[in-house]
Each structure stands twice: as C-alpha cells, then as structure tokens.
Amino acid sequence: MDVNPAHVHMDPADASIVQALADHMVEILGAFRNFGRFDPKWAARDPSPFNDERALLQRQYGPHGSWSADAAEYAGDAALLFLLAQADHLTVLHQIYSSRAGLMFGVGPSARSLLEINGYVFWLLHPHLDSIRTRAARSLLSQLNDASRERAAAKDLGAPARHMSEVGERVNALKEKVTQRFYPSEIQRDKSGRLILRGERHPGPGEALRHLSIAGAEEWNSRGAYSFLSNAAHPTLHVITDTIQTDGDGVPTRFGHADTQFHYRLARMAMAGFLYTWQITAAYRGLDQDPIRRLLLEIDTLPEP
C-alpha cells in the first residue's frame, strides 16, 4: 500500500474545486477585516436590537431592585469575540485547503470548533426570544459557565492560591447575581444540579447546534457533521481507515484518498457558519449586512464536485 501521510491524492479537477473554496475563504476573511477597519469598535447603531434591549433591561426588576443593561452588553461583546475566534479557525481551514496539507485530518478540529461557536452565538443572540429576561438569563448562564470552567482549569493547572481565590470570587459573585436579578419562581435546578433560569439551561457544544435552524439556508446535517468532526478530532480509527483506497478485491492500495464531495460540503458549512455568525452579530448591533449576504450568495456559484 502506498503510504505518504503528507500527500493527498487528488486529480486536477478536484484540486481546482478545492482551490476555489480556498479562494472564497480568503475573500470572506478579507471582507471581514475591511468591515472591522471601517468601524473598529463595532459601535451599535440606532435602531438596533442591542440598543433596544439595553433600554428594556433597565426597566426590569428583581428581588434586589432595578437591573442594568449589562446582559445586552455582555451578549453583544461576547458574540463579537467569538466571531474573532471563528475567523481564526476559518484562516486555518484556508491554509489547509490552499496547500492541501492536512486536508484529510487537519480540518476536523478547526471545523468542529467553528461549528460549536456558530451554534453558541445563535443561542446567545437568538433574535426571537419570548422575553428580555430570557436574554438576561442566557447572558448570565454564559458568564457563570465561563467562570466555572476557568476555575476548574485553574485548579487542574495548579494555579497559585491568589488566582484561585480571584476566580472563585467571580463565580460566587455571578451566583449571587442570579438571586439578585431573578425571582425564585424563575430559578430551578435539574436532577443533576444544573442551574435553570426561566427554563433555560446552558447548552453543551452539541446542544447548541439546534439553534442553527434559524439560519435555514445551508443544506447540511449540522448534528451529523458535528458527530463526524468530533470523531475526526479525537483518536477514532474509522476516520483514518475511510481514507484507504482499495482495489476491486478489497485489497488496500493507497492511504490518503481524499473525498472531494466531503471537503466541498465541509467548506460550504464552514464558510456559511462564519458568515451567519457575522450576520447575527452585525444585525444585533444594527450594522450593514449587505456584504455578508453577497458573500453567502457567492457560495452557491462555486464549482461543485
């Protein structure tokens, strides 16, 4: 069997398709950088859901009195930071597609992370919530999860006692905020002790994918893709053996056979996922979405296998 892990066997027609996908990734990333240069602070416009929700939040009350607008500010800022991280993952995918080095197994971790961010931001900024208090619940659940995970990682890394104390204080302050902002009727715990605010639980990476359904434009089984990409990001043998080409008798003849149909669909998912995250983040701030819509439409013009 021909074994050369550094080389992906691909005929010229398939190679041109992969290159076209890489070229569109570059176009998307360039447009995103230009979007940020035009307004580096991504300042919200009027009207915008961001400003509307800031005003609504300040008219809400809880056991400790009136609220501030911090839930909307956290949601908007966190989504933007997640989008920047997503751009980094798309940059890695572009490097893989343009060089075709790592095209078999290198795409798994970045594509998986990109998909996770996509679902999470849609959960955080979902435009059709039943109440502004639900936005506040999701924002607070996100902050509490982040601080709790930071505390757990710091403990595992053997962080100094002072740092552990600071992180622990942040977790406790967020827990206290739950009872200050929300009435007892809005706070529950499930059987495992997970916090539920207004019926909302913090979603795991796979759970967040159901929030992608509001995008609705990309024909991709996001849950199935996530399952496969999770396997590709971990030591799962079938992902490797799937790249072994056999002869008519089933005898392995070559390692490193790339499925261009898979990589075509994967690239579409990654590009559309990034663009949808960018779109919902921009929409929340009332910013121009025309460049994003144009780039989404151009995906359908790319050559297919």
Q: Tell me: the pLDDT tens digits for 165-197?
A: 999 999 999 999 999 999 999 999 999 999 999
Instruction: Give yes or no for residue 75 having a pLDDT over 70.
Output: yes
Q: What DSSP state is assigned to residue 54?
A: H
Spatial CA neighbour of 125 closest among 67, 179, 80, 95: 80
Q: pTM for the whole thing?
A: 0.90
pLDDT of residue 70: 97
- The CA-to-CA distance between both ends of the chain, in Å, stands at 26
pLDDT average, residue stretch 245-249? 72
pLDDT digits (tens, 9 = 90+) for 126-159: 999 999 999 999 999 999 999 999 999 999 999 9
DSSP string, 97-148: HHH-TTTTTTHHHHHHHHHHHHHHHHHHT-S--S-HHHHHHHHHHHHHHHHH
Ranges 47-51, 222-226, 262-266: which has the least confidence: 222-226
Sign of CA dihedral 147, 152, 158, 161: positive
Tokens of 126: 């979902």
Residue 295 has pLDDT above 50, yes or no: yes
pLDDT higher for 89 or 4?
A: 89
Q: What is the mean pLDDT of the chain?
A: 87
What is the pLDDT at residue 86?
Answer: 96
pLDDT tens, residue by residue, 34-43: 987 766 668 8
pLDDT band at 258 (very low <50, low <70, confident <90, very high): low
pLDDT at 209 over 90: no
Instruction: Give the confidence band of 263 by pLDDT, cuts at 50, 70, 90.
Output: confident
Percent of the chain with pLDDT over 70: 86
**For residue range 85-99, what is the model confidence (pLDDT) as tens digits?**
999 999 999 999 998
Q: Cis peptide before 305, with omega less than 30 degrees from 0?
A: no
Q: How far apart are CA 177 and CA 142, in angstroms?
A: 13
CA distances from 202 to 95, 118, 130, 137, 169 (A): 33, 15, 17, 9, 21
Residues 233-247: what's their mean pLDDT? Answer: 74
**pLDDT category, 253, cuts 50, 70, 90?**
low
